[in-house]
Amino acid sequence: MVSLPDMSRRISELDGVRPEDLGGDIFSHLLSTHDSHSGERLNAEEIQSECQLLSVAGKSRAQPPRVDRNSSFLPCEGFDTVSSASCATIFYLAHYPHAHTRLVNEIRIKFPSSADIEPGEKLKGCEYLNACIDESLRISPPFCTFAPREVEEGGENIDGNLIPEGYAVGASVYAIQRSPEYFPQPNVYLAEPWLTTKDSSPHSAFVPFSMGPRACIGRLMAISELQTTIALFVWTFDFKLADGDHEV
């Protein structure tokens, strides 16, 4: 993922270049794209909007007001979410040695060397690795606020409260995933519950990527990156907390 300054610089560099002379990066493809309605090539402002939309949920081209709202998510989407989840997983593994030991055994038995660890079915099949990642995403979701939804015409009755149309409502991911209603020990790192069937709790209250048609379109890529990163880390390194640093 690139920063906004890098994105603007790259757009400026390529603007005006003939399509046949463009390279193969994402900006090159965007610069050679034509608007489906006008038939004209996208200008710099439109390209920047499209780049921003690649970082948020939604597959269709949004109207300008929605572009503005979605663009506000750009700094925390894509790159920071995966790095935060990776750090959280390593943090909790260090604080919960039983989980650390079980995960190390799973990865080092399944993969003879670190060179064998790569995205694919074998890595996806590491059940305890997936459980550790899910528990990290539950207890420390990278995006822990809420995705707002606008109340439609006529208002909406939510938990006995009438919310007028036009208001934005949402539920905090952090609050849902730390609710004792779904997680009996909400503040304790427990990977084992994730080894149960997918139609049972805690899966029903697991929403780090949101849910429904507006769920994060990059969630499968994010999970693949997390699986690869964590597996490589625990295979390659032995780690433990520094003396006296045991508070979670």
Helix (H) or strand (E) holding 11: helix 4-14
**CA dihedral defined by 59, 63, 66, 72, rounded to 10 degrees?**
80
Gap between the Cα atoms of 52 and 75, Å rounded: 10
Phi-psi domain of 223 (left: phi exceeds 0; alpha: psi -120 through 50; beta: other): alpha
Is 126 part of any known ligand binding site? Answer: no
Query: In the block, which residue shows the tokens 């260090």?
Result: 94
Please give the C-alpha separations between residue 139 and each of 41, 207, 217, 237, 243, in angstroms, as whole numbers.
45, 11, 22, 24, 24
| Bond from prior residue into 213 cis (ω within 30 degrees of 0) | no
Residues within the annotated binding site for heme? 216
Residues within the annotated binding site? 216
